[in-house]
């Protein structure tokens, strides 16, 4: 915990800034996600920020930081399922709708210049995801649907975009390398 707190304080930088006393703002947090964990999707980075910012005050405080990184880096499957669902539930209504899936997949897929209507391919992927994951057949994914699908096939955990770190990216990053090694050995 001490290492996490030291890292957090180091990331805050100048404590004289009133906003720094509140925690990491969205911009600074997104910068960490990009530089340290290689994330590039703007929507996913915003949703990861939202998943960390439990009190919705637009800052990640030290408690949210330590709890969030615990799940982000070393969480159990149950914790990661809940976290990923929260990231993908864009409007926070407890369901992942067709529209939410479409927006996430649209941002994460590379478009081919020869495609006449690239959105048609994304719509097809949404329908395939629903067929595979929508166990109660109501046209959207509840947490129960998502959890059941991931337990049947764990590759579906990040079906709508990469929201967990790639171990190779953060282990190779010198800024967090010592921290991650310490964290993994201790916890």
Q: For 70-100, write each residue's pLDDT tens digit.
A: 999 889 999 999 999 999 999 999 999 999 9
Provide the number of structural domains found in the chain. 1
How would DSSP label each residue in the chain? -HHHHHHHHHHH--TTSGGGGT-EEHHHHHHHHHHHH----HHHHHHHHHHH-TT-SSEE-HHHHHHHHHHHHH--HHHHHHHHHHHH-TT-SSEE-HHHHHHHHHHHSPPPTT-S-HHHHHHHHHHHHHHHH-TT-SSSEEHHHHHHHHHH-GGGGGTTS--S--HHHHHH-HHHHHHHHHHHHH-
Query: Is the predicted pLDDT of residue 19 greater than 70, yes or no?
Result: no
Residue 10 pLDDT > 90, yes or no? no
**Residue-range definition of the domain harbouring residue 54:** 2-186
> Mean pLDDT over all residues of the chain?
85
Residue 150 has pLDDT above 90, yes or no: yes
The CATH code of the domain that includes 18 is 1.10.238.10
- Give tens-digit pLDDT for 39-58: 989 999 999 999 999 999 99
């Amino acid at each position: 915990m001490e290492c996490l707190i030291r890292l957090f304080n180091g990331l805050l930088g100048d404590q004289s800034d009133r906003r720094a006393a509140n925690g990491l703002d969205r911009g600074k947090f997104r910068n960490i996600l990009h530089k340290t964990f290689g994330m590039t999707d703007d929507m996913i980075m915003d949703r990861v920020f939202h998943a960390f910012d439990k009190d919705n005050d637009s800052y990640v405080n030290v408690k949210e930081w330590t709890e969030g990184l615990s799940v982000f880096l070393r969480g159990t499957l149950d914790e990661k399922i809940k976290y990923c669902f929260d990231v993908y539930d864009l409007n926070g209504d407890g369901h992942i709708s067709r529209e939410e899936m479409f927006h996430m997949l649209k941002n994460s897929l590379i478009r081919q210049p020869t495609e006449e209507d690239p959105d048609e391919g994304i719509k097809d992927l949404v329908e395939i995801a629903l067929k595979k994951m929508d166990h109660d057949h109501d046209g959207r994914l509840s947490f129960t649907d998502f959890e059941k699908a991931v337990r049947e096939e764990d590759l579906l955990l990040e079906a709508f975009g990469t929201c967990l770190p790639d171990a190779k990216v953060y282990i190779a990053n010198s800024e967090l390398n010592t921290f991650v090694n310490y964290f993994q050995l201790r916890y």
